[in-house]
A and B are shown apart, each in its own frame.
Chain A
Amino acid sequence: MASSSGNDDDLTIPRAAINKMIKETLPNVRVANDARELVVNCCTEFIHLISSEANEICNKSEKKTISPEHVINALESLGFGSYIAEVKDVLQECKTVALKRRKASSRLENLGIPEEELLRQQQELFAKARQQQAELAQQEWLQMQQAAQQAQLAAASASSAQQAGSSQDEDEEDDM
């Protein structure tokens, strides 16, 4: 629904939202399409009506921002006083929900560990791990060295024993 003219008056509540409300209010009633379109436009008209009235009340009170009080007075003076009780209830509910959300998020921030601390702890763990790895590697290397030395010694003694044995044989042959 692109509006190239950008005309503010083309602003309306989305048709789907209105259809849903009509359906909930008048279940099982068939509503003509042009009637639905009309309700959409009536909504815009209603919002303008309330805004203008509330704005006037606001101007008279010399405040710059339209407050809930101004809207409630506007509803009363325009004959929609019957809406006031329910509308006030919803406002209370909205505030309670917003308050709960704020409390929940601040509690979480207090219990949790701040990000910098978490990073520091992570670095510490990495460093520790690297050190352990290095020590382990060194140990293994030493063990290998020792094993290699032992193997060398063992091999050396074995070969010298063999040499001694073979030279004896040679002597015997010469004598015959």
Chain B
Amino acid sequence: MSDANMEEKVEQATSSKTISLPISRVRLIMKSSPDVSCINQDALFLTTKATELFVQHLALSSFKNGSGKETNTLSYSDLANVAEETETFQFLTDILPKKILAREYLKSLEEMKKEDGNL
């Protein structure tokens, strides 16, 4: 299948007019937000579909921006990077800190100590 065909198929799948995520679960999550009281059923539909679009958007952006394009992989760091670099995804940085190697962490700790020592 050519690239153009593949892209078309992906577009068809992603712009479907139905909702595939479980609406009841979305409602539960919404209600667990502080202060949220009553939600109109239509508003619930909208939120559910928006969440679907969000997943697609996040996955696509992370992949396009990431380092796994040649190897056709998507990694944790791809996601973390896109969250940090894209304004609309910055709200995610709280829950996905960039993983750093332990030795790098220790190194930066040591450097901080040194700076403290110099002061």
Contacts of B33 in A (CB 8 A): 47-48, 51-52, 55
> Which of B15, B29, B52, B73 touches A29 (beta carbons < 8 Å)?
B73
Check B60 for interface membership: any CB of A closer than 8 A.
Answer: yes
The reply to whether B38 and A80 form a contact with Cβ atoms under 8 Å apart is no
How many whole Å from A75's CB to the nearest CB in chain B?
Answer: 6
The reply to whether B19 and A90 form a contact with Cβ atoms under 8 Å apart is yes
**What residues of chain A have their CB less than 8 Å away from a CB belonging to chain B?**
8-9, 11-14, 17-18, 20-22, 24-32, 34-35, 38-39, 41-52, 54-55, 64-68, 70-72, 75, 78-80, 83, 86-91, 93-95
- Interface size range on B against A: 35 or more
- B53 and chain A: residue at smallest CB distance: A83
Check B101 for interface membership: any CB of A closer than 8 A.
Answer: no
The reply to whether A50 and B47 form a contact with Cβ atoms under 8 Å apart is yes
Contacts of A32 in B (CB 8 A): 73-76
Contacts of A34 in B (CB 8 A): 76
How many whole Å from B95's CB to the nearest CB in chain A?
Answer: 6
- B33 and chain A: residue at smallest CB distance: A51
> Which of B6, B50, B57 touches A27 (beta carbons < 8 Å)?
B6
Check B119 for interface membership: any CB of A closer than 8 A.
Answer: no
The reply to whether B92 and A45 form a contact with Cβ atoms under 8 Å apart is yes
